[in-house]
Amino acid sequence: MLIALQRALGDDQYSAYFESGNELQGYNPTGQVEINGVNVDESSVSYLLNQIMSNTYQIRSISVE
């Protein structure tokens, strides 16, 4: 899932969150994902990431809790 997220965000944006010293350094997915307040499964996340990569959807903002 992290590889697909990196492709969708692009290297610069991904690095801003996941590289050493940043907010999500060392993050390992737990399998629980929430999008816009709704729990979703991995296939839903994959679908959304594919839509982002094909420019059907655009990311407006990202928040991490």
Local confidence band at 51 (pLDDT 50, 70, 90 cut-offs) = very high
Q: Is residue 8 part of a domain?
A: yes
pLDDT of residue 58: 87
Mean pLDDT of 25-39: 86
In the chain, the number of structural domains is: 1
Residue 9 CB neighbours (<10 A): 19
How far apart, in whole angstroms, are the C-alpha atoms of residue 50 and residue 4? 8
Mean pLDDT of 17-41: 87
Q: Is residue 11 part of a domain?
A: yes
Q: Is residue 6 part of a domain?
A: yes
Q: Is residue 59 part of a domain?
A: no
DSSP state of 65: -
Local confidence band at 34 (pLDDT 50, 70, 90 cut-offs) = confident
Angle at 30 between CA 46 and CA 24, to 5 degrees: 90
Q: Is residue 62 part of a domain?
A: no
Is residue 65 predicted with pLDDT exceeding 90? no
Q: Is residue 21 part of a domain?
A: yes
Residues of the domain holding 31: 2-53
